[in-house]
Amino acid sequence: MAQTVSKERKIIVTVIAWSIGIALFFPIFWTILTSFKTEAEAIASPPSLFFFDWTTENYAEVQSRSNYFGHFMNSVVISLGSTLLGLLIAIPAAWAMAFSPTPRTKDVLMWMLSTKMLPPVGVLVPMYLIFRSVGLLDTRIGLVLVLTLINLPIIVWMLYTYFKEIPGEILEASRMDGASLMKEIIYVLTPMAVPGIASTLLLNIILAWNEAFWTLNLTASKAAPLTAFIASYSSPEGLFYAKLSAASTMAIAPILILGWFSQKQLVRGLTFGAVK
């Protein structure tokens, strides 16, 4: 940071960056704003920016029509559950790949990623039949399992690239001390890997929260998350911009807030080994 920057330049950069940031955020801002308008105002021309009668009736309407809290809880359980289960399975695998690499490690990694290329809709009927015969339809457990498997390759990869950055000498040193393998993981590796794990955790919660194919097709009511909640608003009758905006805001608000509060952690690990 030896370079000093002229004030003019800093102001210009600020203006450009803010303009782009606001432009990218605008659709979300507009949705949130519209959710507080009446239906008539939502399509008024010219559109009103702030000077309208703020109302929360859309939220009341959405709440009276659907059990938001139930869907919300399902989303929390499913995204958190699948991420934690995924981490549990992926951490040992990523550790092994990072510290005992074999010539085939990269192939295994690429193969894992390639399982994500299977278009889900092609295997919907087989999956539905399997789920029905083992009684997992419309259960949180079923969705946790599916989402774990879907995101496992990404989890393994993210962790692997992160673990690789940890210098091997530290592990060697602890091994000299006679620390056993488990202890090595618990006391030496884990603390160093926490930022990477946190970042992986966050990214996968986001991916699981927004997954809208399996969560919609393998649930009915008991395990249906917010993706199913929004599916009942995708084209209701009559004027619906304000109600749609309210439902959308409710569906995205939790993850938006989580993402914002933890963006530092999220960004730090979001390198996939791209940074040396």
Partner 1 sequence: MTLKIFMLGTCAAALLSGLAQAETLTIATVNNGDMIRMQKLTDDFTAKNPDIQLEWVTLEENILRQRVTTDIATKGGQYDVMTVGSYEVPIWAKQGWLLPLDNLGADYDAADLVPAVSSGLSQDGKLYAAPFYAESSMIMYRKDLFEKAGLTMPEAPNWDFIADAARKITDKSNEVYGICLRGKAGWGENMAFLTATANAFGARWFDEKWQPQFDQPEWKNALSFYVNLMKDAGPPGASSNGFNENLALFQTGKCGMWIDATVAASFVTNPKESTVPDKVGFALAPDAGLGKRGNWLWSWNLAIPAGTKKAEAAEKFVSWATSKAYLELVASKEGWANVPPGTRTSLYNNAEYQKAAPFAKMTLDSINAADPKNPSTKPVPYVGVQFVAIPEFQGLGTAVGQQFSAALAGQTTVDQALASAQQLSVREMTKAGYIK
Partner 2 sequence: MATLHTRAAARLMMAPSVLLLLAWMIIPLSLTIYFSFLRYNLLMPGMEEWAGFTNYSFFLTDPAFFQALFNTLAIVVGVLCITVFGGIALALLLDQPMYGQGIVRILVIAPFLIMPTVAALVWKNMFMNPVNGLFAWVAKAVGLQPYDFLSNSPLLSIIVIVAWQWLPFATLILLTALQSLDEDQKEAAQMDGASAWSRFIYITLPHLSRAITVVILIQTIFLLSVFAEILVTTNGGPGTQSTNITYLVYAQALLQFDVGGASAGGIVAVILANIVAFFLIRMIGKNLEA
Binding site for partner 1 (CB under 8 A): 39-40, 43, 64-66, 124-125, 128-129, 132, 137-138, 216-217, 220-222, 224, 228, 231-240
Classify 152 in phi/psi space as left (phi over 0), alpha (psi -120 to 50) or beta.
alpha
Which partner in partner 2, partner 1, none is near 192 (CB below 5 to 8 A by kind)?
none
Closest distance of CB 217 from partner 1, Å:
7
Residue 243 to residue 200: CA distance in whole angstroms: 34
Residue 266 to residue 263: CA distance in whole angstroms: 5
> Is 137 near partner 2 (CB under 8 A)?
no
Which partner in partner 2, partner 1, none is near 40 (CB below 5 to 8 A by kind)?
partner 1
Beta-carbon contacts of residue 248 (< 8 Å; ≥ 6 apart)? 31, 35, 230, 233
Among 40, 43, 60, 186, contact with partner 2 (rule: CB under 8 A): 43
Stretch that binds partner 2, among 49-57, 59-67, 190-198, 254-262 (CB under 8 A): 254-262
Closest distance of CB 92 from partner 2, Å:
3
> Is 121 near partner 2 (CB under 8 A)?
yes
DSSP, residue by residue, 160-177: HHHHHTS-HHHHHHHHHT
Burial (0-12, 13-18, 19+ Cβ within 10 Å), 45: exposed
Greatest alpha-carbon pair distance for the chain in Å reads 74
- Residue listed under structure tokens 């730090």: 268
Closest distance of CB 75 from partner 1, Å:
16
Which partner in partner 1, partner 2, none is near 232 (CB below 5 to 8 A by kind)?
partner 1
Among 52, 68, 72, 99, contact with partner 2 (rule: CB under 8 A): 99
Among 56, 115, 190, 221, contact with partner 2 (rule: CB under 8 A): 115
Residue 220 to residue 225: CA distance in whole angstroms: 10
